[in-house]
Structure 1
Amino acid sequence: MKILTFGQTGQLARALKRVQPKTAELIQLSHQQVDITQPQLIDEALAFYRPDIIINCAAYTDVEKAQINPVAAMQINALAVEYMAKAASNYGIKLIQLSTDYVFDGRSSTPYSVTQKPSTINAYGQSKLLAEETLLSYQSALFCIVRTSWLYHHSGNNFVTTMLKLMTQSHNQQTIGSSADNPIKVVNDQTGSPTMVDDFARFLWKLCSQKQWSAIYHWSNAGKCTWYEFAQEIKTQGIALGLLPQSIYLQPITSEQYASIVNRPAFSVLDTRLSHTLAIPKPWQQQLAQCLNELVLSKV
């Protein structure tokens, strides 16, 4: 089984490499190798490598910047996927398109199923939804969409590394978070499911081994929390492992109090039950503990 990823340096591409099965061949192409906004370069890459499956790890993921520059987000997140779909269809290559909980508007109070109609509220979500609609228009058994949420690892740029950095800075006599008068402020009215990226990568490898695909999958770690509750758990576990100082001050705030130009879904938990035949999600708190334990071991 030969897998090709567009995208090499993002946290998911790196995770796919970390948990790669020994029986699989993995080819990862960086933006420098293939500019996915150029359809001819995509076609040439597929003609040269002839993979069995493409996993599209290339994405414009900065939600704030996407709101400011929606054209760039659309080029990478939507138009490039149209080019991939056309080339993959021509060569008979399977394609896994990665998508997001942000294709939903967050007005639900129950987890979103794969059959629910998306309705997004920001430019990033719009670009990812357009990519989904492009793939679904092919009605091809060769293509599938996999939505996930709140990906993190102990390396790279994500919520966990950001929180660990802020909480560590407070220990180094920085002002933020070091006292109750100047706490680390974290949004407490957006609810989702934190997902350890290596777990998601393992799910994708299992999906690659399936002979037949559904059109859409949802996969995340089990359970739900707000960003503030996520930060509290990072704090608690980090202190227990000796990664963080004892005195860290967190303050819950509303989305309105958080200075952002982006509307984010208030509730974006995904219903993953249809994916449980491939992998049973573990509780997000348990997987955060695994992630932080790996961080401790990496420092030894």
Structure 2
Amino acid sequence: MNIAIIGKSGQLAFELSRELKTTKHNVTYFGREDIDITSTASVEEKLSPLSLEVVINASAYTAVDKAEEDTEACNAVNALAVKNLAAFCKANGAFLVHVSTDYVFNGHKGSPYLTDDPIEPQGAYGRSKAEGEKALLEILPEASCLIRTAWVYSSHGNNFVKTMLRLMADKPQLTVIDDQVGTPTWAKGLAEVCLCAAVNKTVGVYHWTDEGVASWYDFALAIQELGVEKELLDKVIPVLPIPSSQYPTPAKRPHYSVLDKQTARKAFASCQPTHWRKQLDSMLEELKA
């Protein structure tokens, strides 16, 4: 199968490249220096010669707070680019796998979000991702897979886990928000699901995270506990819970954004979700190695 991966420097693309090394697919990776997905001409010029069967869009503007000021760049990558890729795939008979976010929901529901729950993004980042979803589902509903995820981390790139490990090594104590609840997701598992969707051309909207529920505070405590156990940290420091009101940010975050995975469990039966704590353990083992 001829596959293009858009976004070669991010966490998801890193994990996709590792998964694809063991397959026989013809894979081409595109970073920002290789293609301008906000330009229809660039998309056409770079992708047309490849006779693609599948495009996996692993690129996104994810600087949530910066997006509140940098809305034009955020919208270009998260909305316009998705429209361009969907239009290309429609014209060329290719299947598109696209990754979206829990930030399209308002965070007020209090029980896991279903794939068809109404979306109501609370900030610029969420709105841009919602616009990308809308474009995809309008242009390419019969040949696309939209996968919403949340709290993604990996041994590659910058993320909450690596930030916590650094701060826990440097600081005498930390405060972490305890009233935002979701599910941490190792990018490795997400990559497996994206490939499953690509190979089987699984059409529809799905939710995928690791299993279980946590606050950022719970997540931080687990990072410290496992970090000490694996000798990635040499001491335990106090980690104190605080409400979001004590840590104001430019962007509003969803207070509750657990995603319901029932339909995904059936659609991607070969990729059953694993509890977030077990996934964190595996990722930290990898980091240690």
TM bracket (short chain): over 0.9
Deviations 1:34-67 (A, max 9, x none): 0111110101122111211111112111001111
Instruction: Please show how residues 1-300 of structure 1 align to structure 2 within 5 Å.
Output: 1-20=1-20, 21-138=22-139, 140-169=141-170, 176=171, 178=172, 183-211=173-201, 213-277=202-266, 278=268, 279-297=271-289
Task: Answer with 199-208 or 136-145: which moved more.
Answer: 136-145
Rounded to whole Å, the distance in 2 between the matches of 1:139 and 1:60 is: 22
Rounded to whole Å, the distance in 1 between the matches of 2:130 and 2:150 is: 14
The DSSP-based 3-state class of the residue aligned with 2:56 is strand
Contact 1:148 1:218 (C-alpha < 8 Å) held by counterparts = yes
Aligned-pair CA distance for 1:138: 2.5
Supply the AA of the counterpart residue of 1:267.
Y
Gaps of 5+ in 2: none
Structural RMSD (CA): 1.2
Gaps of 5+ in 1: 170-175
Aligned-pair CA distance for 1:232: 0.2
The DSSP-based 3-state class of the residue aligned with 2:118 is coil
Aligned-pair CA distance for 1:296: 1.5
Aligned-pair CA distance for 1:124: 0.2
Aligned length: 285
Supply the AA of the counterpart residue of 2:287.
L
Contact 2:86 2:140 (C-alpha < 8 Å) held by counterparts = no
Counting aligned pairs with the same residue, the percent is 36
The DSSP-based 3-state class of the residue aligned with 2:175 is strand
Supply the AA of the counterpart residue of 2:155.
H
Aligned-pair CA distance for 1:139: 5.3
The DSSP-based 3-state class of the residue aligned with 2:256 is coil
Contact 1:46 1:88 (C-alpha < 8 Å) held by counterparts = no
Contact 2:83 2:132 (C-alpha < 8 Å) held by counterparts = yes
Rounded to whole Å, the distance in 2 between the matches of 1:287 and 1:119 is: 30
Structure 1's consecutive aligned runs of 4 or more residues displaced over 3 angstroms after TM superposition are none
Rounded to whole Å, the distance in 2 between the matches of 1:148 and 1:69 is: 23
Supply the AA of the counterpart residue of 2:256.
F
Rounded to whole Å, the distance in 1 between the matches of 2:80 and 2:186 is: 28
The DSSP-based 3-state class of the residue aligned with 1:81 is helix
Contact 2:14 2:156 (C-alpha < 8 Å) held by counterparts = no
